[in-house]
Amino acid sequence: MKRVIEHYLWEWKGEPGRKSLLLRGARQVGKTFTVRRFGETFESFFEVNFEKEPGLGSVFEPDLDPHRIIRDLALARDTRIIPQETLLFLDEIQQVPRAITALRYFYEEMPELHVVAAGSLLDFAIEEVGIPVGRVQSLHMYPMSFLEFLTAKGQSLAVEALIQHSASEPLNEAVHGKLLREQGEYLAVGGMPEAVQEWVEHEDLRRCNRVHERLANTFRQDFAKYSKEHQIKYVDLVFSETPRMLGQKFVFSRLAGTWRRRDLQPALELLAKASIVHPVLQTAATGVPLGAEANSAQFKVLFLDVGLAESLLGFDGGRWILDHEATFANAGALAEAFVGQELLAYGPVHRRTELYYWHREARSSSAEVDYIVSAGQQVIPIEVKSGTRGGLKSMRLFLTSRSEVSPCGVRFSTHNFSSFEDLRSYPLYGVGSFVAGIDPAARAALESLVL
């Protein structure tokens, strides 16, 4: 279960001005597993889980002197913590907000000690105590990407080929067909690590579905931890209904019931803070940064994971396995959500990645481009087509009106790789290929999967 985030952990390990590190992301995306795996590269590994061992939180109460803290932690376990040799891992750190504050003093007074902290609801604790500017750094983690899924299945040659591939050369049709089938598997299973592990070991979708059911129940149990009592029913409603609105402008009145926006919007914001949903903001996209022209009142929403979303929708994932071509043709919203999930997974990890789309409302006709990304000073429109058909009128309109900043557009579909004039066409499984081609840092990180 090798993850791209490991590349950035290795970079952090060797940085001379290394700060304490916060690993952030939703519950069950693999944070703890990844840090434990990373801990194997140190001479010793010291893990504290504040949910399982709440008593150890008292170590941070007298003061925030890092020398005393590691002394008391070592005494509590009868295990030494040795700077430059030990990785100290503070898991579920949101349970002890003072431990978050202590991270700055590890950096200031004991920089030779490697300290990683993680938590599933970190943003809520950070809102309470803050993060000292310039004293703590963050890495953001998401569900497993398609390339990580292939790596877990032992398909390292396919991963290497996709990282190196450009839109200008089609793959052999037999290879293209094989990768579409692999992507069908991914869309049935999703990227939650426990579900991927079940699929790799047993190839039984029923077991994967049971994982998704357990995860959904775990997320629901968390609602009470970050919602006020009167908000829980609204958070549960938005959690359950968001998968039905994938690929659409999010309109609160479309949710089940007769609830008011003023009740539902805070619930959506809480789920976003918990990293369960991710807003995709409308932008005018006349230049970079894209966020400068974003309209926070107009947005779509991505759910944490396509496999989990399908489970909540009651979608028969077996259709992706038995007849992926027909399923692709009738699952446009899921294909769009998959591309968004991939863009998040391959995006910058040192900050939360923001996604955007473009929409023009006109009396005669409206136009919409599914995603807008930037590469340097260029603005790149992205259209997602679930099958092999479908025009690109909206993209053409965008390219015509933004010719000074948008030299080309990108289409993701079930077509093979191709390039013609100002259109670059990638198969749906080729999002990693696209990102590797426009972002050298992302390419280096992806290449670490096959090293």
Q: What is the mean pLDDT of residues 41-57?
A: 96
pLDDT score of 387: 67
In tens, the pLDDT along 272-290 reads 999 999 999 999 999 999 9
Percent of the chain with pLDDT over 70: 98
Q: Which of 308, 23, 255 is nearest to 140 (CA)?
A: 23
In this predicted structure, the answer to whether residue 56 has a pLDDT above a threshold of 80 is: yes
Kindly give the pairing relationship between strand 20-24 and strand 136-140.
parallel
Question: Residue 259: is it exposed, middle or buried by C-beta count within 10 angstroms (0-12/13-18/19+)?
Answer: middle
Mean pLDDT of 175-184: 96
First to last CA, the chain: 14
Percent of the chain past pLDDT 90, that is, above it, reads 86
Q: Looking at residue 389, what is its pLDDT? A: 67
pLDDT value at 361 more than 80: no
Which pLDDT score is estimated for 446?
Answer: 97
**Model's pTM, two decimal places?**
0.95
Whether the bond between 289 and the residue before it is cis, its omega within 30 degrees of 0, is yes
Mean pLDDT of all residues in 29-37: 97
Please state, in angstroms and rounded to a whole number, the distance separating the CA atoms of residues 428 and 382.
12
| pLDDT tens column, 302-314 | 999 999 999 999 9
Angle at 117 between CA 48 and CA 1, to 5 degrees: 90
Mean pLDDT of the chain: 94
3-state helix, strand, coil in the chain (%, to 5): 50, 20, 30
- Whether the per-residue pLDDT at 320 is higher than 90: the answer is no
**pLDDT by residue (tens digit) across 110-157?**
999 999 999 989 999 998 888 877 889 999 999 999 999 999 999 999
User: Measured over all CA atoms, what is the biggest interatomic distance in the chain, rounded to whole angstroms?
Assistant: 74
What is the band of 328 on the pLDDT scale with cuts at 50, 70, 90? confident
- Cα dihedral 193/195/201/207 (nearest 10): 160
Long-range contacts of 288-291 (CB under 8 A, 24+ apart): 288/374, 288/376, 288/377, 288/378, 288/379, 288/405, 289/374, 290/354, 290/356, 290/372, 290/373, 290/374, 290/379, 291/354, 291/356
**Mean pLDDT value across residues 376-393:** 86
Residue with tokens 């590190």: 21
Give the integer Cα–Cα distance in Å for 273 and 86: 32
Sheet holding 418-420, edge to edge: 294-303, 277-283, 355-360, 367-375, 378-384, 409-413, 423-427, 418-420
For 258, the token pair is: 């007769």
Which domains does the chain carry? Answer: 5-140 (3.40.50.300), 146-443 (no CATH)
Q: What pLDDT is attached to residue 277? A: 97
CA dihedral of 287, 292, 298, 300, whole degrees rounded to 10: 70
Residue 388 has pLDDT above 70, yes or no: no
SS (H, E, C) 122-137: HHHHHHHHCCCCCCEE
